[in-house]
Amino acid sequence: MTVWGLTGGIASGKTTVANLFKQYDIPIINVDVIAHDIQKNNDVIDLILNQFGGCVFNQETHEIDRKKLGNIVFNDINQLNKLNNIMQPLIKNKIKHLLLNYDQSRLVVLDIPLLFEQHYEKLVDKIIVVYVNKKTQIERLKKRNNLELKEALQRIQIQLSLEKKKQLADYVIDNNQSIEQTKIQVIKLLRSYQNKGN
């Protein structure tokens, strides 16, 4: 089995690229989905509430209010580290368990937003970074999350820069252009894998 780690910056188009891989029947393990599921666990809810207080709890749904929690952690690196200390060990264990289900697959893609920041490099064979220029990233993030410029910049700056991620990648997918251009790059990557076997 070969595992590719798919990462990028916030609003770089990583989900778009993951969906393109899905079109070619490549299994995707989405770390955001795993994190959402873990945050529904009562023990994890208790840990988060103990750390961040009742303001991040939604009384109607009896779940963590991800928007309120995000407003706290994306504005303070220390708060983000506290959340990661709770979540990341649980996420890594879940990923390792899920990978066992894909034993027979030739290729699995791990969709991991914070691959470098949380040191997932050892779980993957190759790293793909979805890259966009900063101006495009800011505009997409503002539009997608309905954020002001200052808020968008804070969320971008709390992560490792896309320029640095690009340097650390085995493969880079440039997502500045059209979806068709991005798809061409994904197809080339898959053909290269099929030809080389890695």
Confirm whether residue 13 is marked as ligand binding. yes
Per the annotation, does 14 bind a ligand? yes
Starting at the edge strand found earlier in the chain, the sheet holding 28-30 runs: 28-30, 107-111, 2-8, 126-131, 171-174
The DSSP element (H or E) to which 64 belongs, if any, is strand 63-64
Longest dimension (CA), the chain: 53
Residue 15 labeled ligand binder: yes
Residue 168 amino acid letter:
L
SS3 content of the chain, % helix, strand, coil (to 5): 55, 15, 30
Q: Is 61 annotated as a binding residue?
A: no
- 109: amino acid identity, one letter: V
2 is in an annotated binding site: no
* CA dist., res. 78 & res. 55, Å (int): 18
The secondary structure element, H or E, covering residue 127 is: strand 126-131
- Residue among 33, 19, 4 nearest 94 (CA): 33
- Determine if residue 178 is labeled as part of a ligand binding site: no
Residue numbers belonging to the annotated binding site for ATP = 11-16
Residue numbers belonging to the annotated binding site = 11-16
